[in-house]
Amino acid sequence: MKCKDLVSVADLERDDIDKLFALTAEMKASCKRGDTDLCLAGKTLGMIFEKSSMRTRVSFEVAMTQMGGHAIYLTKHDINIGERESIKDVSKVLSRFIDCIAIRTYDHKTVTELAGCSSVPVINALSDYTHPCQALTDLFTVKEKLGTLDNVKIAYVGDGNNVARSLAFLCAKLKVTCIVATPENYGLSEEFLGELENSVKDKDSYIKQITDPEEAVKDADVIYTDTWISMGEEEEAETRRKDFEGFQVNSKLVSHAKKDVFVMHCLPAHRGEEITDDVIDGKHSIVYDQAENRLHVQKALLKLLINR
């Protein structure tokens, strides 16, 4: 890959994404056959997690283990990055010990500063602004299920949060139509749209924002949703639940899409809130295939970044 770090989808060129997806498919197939690829033997991933996680932590740790490497889990209490010790010092010291850093944090500036000071690759495992590993997994999963990304339409229904931003950015790069349906004042931010415009000049051909979920899912190949209340937004919970009335992914909404539409959710899901049980557990759902693919995408990402 041409980039040293994965801070956001903006770091990736089309060739990088194609290479990552091809390697992901290859490594997933090898894993299913029981083949062992110890390409990261002797390598160590340091994982700085200020936010709790199940999928992100487990998938990165398992990825390193399956490739012969090792992962070290560091919580806020272990490092307290930026308070007990400066981000710069943490970055420079860890760079002397380990081969890659993955960070799951609140402030996106923490990721950018860490990457700027590090001599080893830094992976954004989630920040409040963006979630590149999730978006890469999402589009890989769509391509795996449909066989192509050509003429694909994805309808994202919910909050214009970090997941929505990363999904929209990657869709624009890959020329995939993405309709983002949110309530008023919950759409993609002007800051983000400006960044996207600077990176993808024809973004308006692929990324559209509306406030009508039924219109968004019309003729959609994929319906995607995420929680309405992200970590750190708990005080807004009641207000958000009221504002998002009508944006639930339920059987009625799904009926307005293609008959063979896929439904995705990055998890954790608040069942009965942004998505209903009958949909997430139903025939359209590929939620657990999507979750599994975090492992395979991140294995490919780690291999490409560490073995440069």
Q: Which residues are catalytic?
A: 104, 131, 134, 226, 266, 294
Q: In whole angstroms, give the CA distance from residue 302 to residue 100.
A: 8
For residues 177-200, one letter each, b for 16 or more C-beta atoms within 10 angstroms of the residue's C-beta and e for the rest, the string is bbbbbbbeebbbeeebbebbeebb
Q: In whole angstroms, give the CA distance from residue 128 to residue 198.
A: 21
